[in-house]
Structure 1
């Protein structure tokens, strides 16, 4: 495999890259393209618990991503014309890997500071600080790769097209795997660890395997190991009470936690999704610790005393459907997250005679042949009710 750098001159491309190194460049384009989308998809999971998974959060993430990439393309192209050696390319990738490893380390501190800026500015600023540096560096990669790989002007169009296609294919794979598989399988912090470490390893392979600079291995692995050991497990819950995490899992619909809270004689168990409390139970008597559930339970009585058949959309800890069934109502529940159902049964003593349907509430209400006297909607995403359940089409 021929590296297109003259020995002793890091910045001048003097040798035409052979097919082996061209394939390595293609893998680099795919890996960095995947990393861009992994960071963007995970961004909503990082910022969501603080600012809600709202339009403002997604607008901030998309804007920061596009600004960082556009700036990276421009500056990367400028630098590639002046410092076009492959060593500079893999140093940029190395730096991007370390910035990704830093995201979980500083996310809580950055987000707590940005909360005071308000919803719009806070979401944008936190996204820019946490994800901007890594995305900017990843944006610099493609111009460098094209500069190294393009050896003949008459083939420049083909070279650009091939490497952009490979990079985009990596982005597609990164987005799909992260959203459909990785979050639920490994968790957000582990994915950041794998992604950042993967980019660091890619640079190490170049410098140590191709350039024979073994000192780079030690220089890279020591700080990478230190960062991996400092990864926080989860954002800490504050206050004077004593909190003990009983269960935690990242799911396709956010992080789900069960936390026991002790304060004085109080012994409460909380259900938390993406840092937001979704329900609480007094462990001594099984009653809800939040007033809103009592208001929800009495809604059927406020509307009509004649109905019995009830659909509860959104399970939570299951107190509302369990209480209604105890009062003689025929209750079915529709819940989109299967892990919430398992958590309610295991940690909150949820059990009813009616059906529990694991599905999107809107789809179930449109497709079911059941007729209900009451439909109680208790669904929240990131502290907000999902719009698609309150549209004319859904009703």
Structure 2
């Protein structure tokens, strides 16, 4: 019997109504994919003022996102098989809009309640409570869209692949737009409100397209809630408490920035809740003492130093003090918003030194000048930029140092209880470039606090430096601090620690204990309402 030849089936013609419905489903996949990534970025930034931006916080956010999305995929598949209707899909989108809007309203209360659970537990709980429900509902969207979009098995792979591609393209767009432009432009609260509003509009359009006026009215109500949230987020009402008030609050590319002023006239720059420097206002003199110790250490190590490069502007304390000493100062600051706020709120009169807005390594690799001293004082909240602490980075800085120059690094770390892994690794890395590396502690060695400023001195030769002797010559109101800091030299084994490189640099992990201790100290002593506002 002859085998009948099979002919490929002709593709089924799609009716105009089906084409429009598929277009709506495609747009839904695209926009929900975008919102997923925006919510993940917002989650990390909302947690930052209380828990920081260290790897522990990012791990918590990513873990919550993956777990919520996985649960959403599984639940959405079951719901799609049982109720394969457009009303089900847009009901889920509406619930996602509602939970996202509500998370913005209860954010401060949730973060404050989670503050007593420690860095790991608090960041996990806060991320899960605030953003877990929204991400779970957004995870349900994909199987529902697939179920409604596909019409048979003939082109199932192609159709599902198209939907996955659209969702991923939306995620890329959401990531790029929010990270590059929307967060600095809109701020966190208004961007969250925009995402909730976008989902509400999407749900309302879907309901109206299927003649569900009652459900559409609920979506409009959710849109109104999102608008209220956005309006509140756009207002800056100076918060007050415990003698402090917030003069300015900005969401920048590298963290949330605040300028806080005390009743006693002290102004602070806070990045993600961490004090980056304090100024006595309106005098404009430094209220942070460690800058005086760095200035004295430069004098001890390189007494003829006339040119200094400062990496990290912060509150402008270090460059201002060095300029007063008659040194020519240049500053490299990666965050343009830090430079703007420092000029507006912490600088009396015009700056008398140039500020280059750039990454420090990129700057030195394109700079043709050398310096008598380089001060590395770059922090983003409580996180140290790891790419500035690698063997390669120190080599690049050394190439721009004069033969009799010195490099001083300010590192906040834990040294009590034998926890010196981070400090030992940084010093060991610096020894691969500099023959002489020494460290000085800004607190008592017999009873150091959880996190301390450690000043690391690196020299391109083995010339003698009497730091303690120079400290004893210090004058002024901060002389006792300078004397203590430069007398407390840390003696760590020269074989301790790992060498950090661009290829292998676990400094975030090594500094986790410091970040946790610092965060606990902030939560226990600072005005939480001021940090979370």
TM-score when scaled to structure 1?
0.90
Unmatched tracts of structure 2, length 5 or more: 1-14, 395-533
Contact 2:52 2:381 in 1 (8 A): yes
TM-superposition CA deviations, 1:240-277 (whole Å, max 9, x none): 2141x333322212222223321xxx112222222322
Q: How does 1:304-319 map to 2 (within 5 A)?
A: 304-319=302-317
* Aligned counterparts of 1:250 and 1:60: Cα–Cα separation in 2: 21
Partner of 1:282: 280
Q: Does 1:175 align with 2:160?
A: no
TM-superposition CA deviations, 1:158-195 (whole Å, max 9, x none): 11101000111000000010001101111111110000
| Change in 2 beyond 3 A, CA 1:285/1:353 | closer
Moved more, 29-38 or 275-284: 275-284
Contact 1:52 1:381 in 2 (8 A): no
Q: Does 1:79 align with 2:63?
A: no
Partner of 1:193: 193
* Aligned counterparts of 2:341 and 2:20: Cα–Cα separation in 1: 51
TM-superposition CA deviations, 1:126-162 (whole Å, max 9, x none): 1111111111110000101110111111111111101
| Change in 2 beyond 3 A, CA 1:234/1:156 | farther
| Change in 2 beyond 3 A, CA 1:166/1:63 | same
Correspondence for 1:240 among 242, 254, 272? 242
TM-superposition CA deviations, 1:3-43 (whole Å, max 9, x none): xxxxxxxxxxxx99610110010000000000000001112
Contact 2:307 2:372 in 1 (8 A): yes
* Aligned counterparts of 2:308 and 2:289: Cα–Cα separation in 1: 21
* Aligned counterparts of 2:282 and 2:150: Cα–Cα separation in 1: 71
Moved more, 233-242 or 341-350: 233-242
Q: Which has the larger radius of gyration?
A: 2
User: For this pair of structures, how many residues does the alignment match?
Assistant: 376
Moved more, 377-386 or 37-46: 377-386
* Aligned counterparts of 1:287 and 1:30: Cα–Cα separation in 2: 53
Partner of 1:5: none
* Aligned counterparts of 1:335 and 1:352: Cα–Cα separation in 2: 14
* Aligned counterparts of 1:26 and 1:219: Cα–Cα separation in 2: 23
Partner of 2:25: 25
* Aligned counterparts of 1:312 and 1:48: Cα–Cα separation in 2: 26
* Aligned counterparts of 1:342 and 1:323: Cα–Cα separation in 2: 19
* Aligned counterparts of 2:346 and 2:282: Cα–Cα separation in 1: 12
* Aligned counterparts of 2:127 and 2:360: Cα–Cα separation in 1: 31
Contact 2:244 2:260 in 1 (8 A): no
Contact 1:297 1:324 in 2 (8 A): yes
Residue 354 of structure 1: CA displacement?
3.5
Partner of 2:356: 357
Partner of 1:301: 299
TM-superposition CA deviations, 1:211-257 (whole Å, max 9, x none): 223233433333542454354557986642141x3333222122222
* SS of 1:332 mapped into structure 2: strand
Partner of 1:260: 261
Q: How does 1:325-364 map to 2 (within 5 A)?
A: 325-349=323-347, 351-364=350-363
Partner of 1:9: none
* Aligned counterparts of 2:355 and 2:328: Cα–Cα separation in 1: 12
Partner of 1:37: 37
Q: How does 1:117-136 map to 2 (within 5 A)?
A: 117-136=117-136
Partner of 2:269: 271
* Aligned counterparts of 2:222 and 2:169: Cα–Cα separation in 1: 31
Partner of 2:165: 165
* Aligned counterparts of 2:174 and 2:298: Cα–Cα separation in 1: 46
* Aligned counterparts of 2:124 and 2:16: Cα–Cα separation in 1: 43
* Aligned counterparts of 2:238 and 2:112: Cα–Cα separation in 1: 12
* SS of 2:393 mapped into structure 1: coil
| Change in 2 beyond 3 A, CA 1:161/1:136 | same
Contact 1:108 1:235 in 2 (8 A): no
Contact 2:265 2:280 in 1 (8 A): yes
* SS of 1:307 mapped into structure 2: coil
Contact 2:238 2:248 in 1 (8 A): no
